[in-house]
Amino acid sequence: MARVVVDVMLKTEILDPQGEAVLGALPRLGVTDVSSVRIGRRVEIEFDENASNVEEQSRVIADKLLANPVIENFTIAVEESVETGAEHA
Partner 1 sequence: MSARIGIVTFPGSLDDRDAARAVYLGGAEPVRLWHDDAQISGVDGVWLPGGFSYGDYLRCGAIARFSQVMDTVKAAADAGMPVIGVCNGFQVLCESHLLPGALVRNAHLRYRNAPTRLRVETERTAWTRAFEPGTEVVFPAKHGEGRYVADEAVLDELEDSGRVVFRYADNPNGSMRDIAGVCSEAGNVVGLMPHPEHAVEALTGPSTDGLGIVASVLSHLSEGAVR
Partner 2 sequence: MTRQPLNVAVDTVGVATATPDEKQPWAELGLKDDEYARIRDILGRRPTQAELAMYSIMWSEHCSYKSSRVHLRQFGQKNPKTPRLLAGIGENAGVVAIDENIAVTFKVESHNHPSFVEPKQGAATGVGGIIRDIIAMGARPIAVMDSLRFGDIDHPDTARVLPGVVDGVSHYGNCVGLPNIGGETVFDPCYQGNPLVNALAVGVMPRARLQSMQASGTGNVVILLGAKTGRDGIGGVSVLASATFSEDGDEDSRPSVQVGDPFEEKLLIEVCLELFDTGLVVGVQDLGGAGLTCALSETAAAGDGGMHVDLELVPLRAKGMEPHDILASESQERMLLIVDPANVENVLARAQRWGLLATAIGEVTDSGRLVIDYHGQTVVDVPPASLADEGPVYERPFTEPNDLALIAVDRAETLPRPTTDDEIRQTVLDMAASPNLCDKTWITEQYDSSVFGNTVLGTPHDAGVLRLDERSGIGIALSLDGNSRFARLDPYVGAQLNLAEAYRNVALTGATPIAVSDCLNFGSPEDPHVMWQFERAVTGIADGCQKMGIPVTGGNVSFYNQTGREAIHPTPVIGVLGVIDDVAKRIPLGLGRTGDTIALIGT
**Which residues of the shown chain bind partner 2 in the complex (CB under 8 A)?**
10-15, 17, 20-21, 24, 68, 70-71, 87, 89
By beta-carbon proximity to partner 1, the closer residue of 1 and 21 is 21
Q: Are 4 and 58 in contact (CB under 8 A)?
A: yes
Q: Does 65 bind its own copies (CB under 8 A)?
A: yes
Coil, strand or helix: which one is 72? strand
The reply on whether position 86 binds its own copies by CB under 8 A is yes
Element containing residue 60 per DSSP (H, E)? helix 54-61
24 binds its own copies (CB under 8 A): no
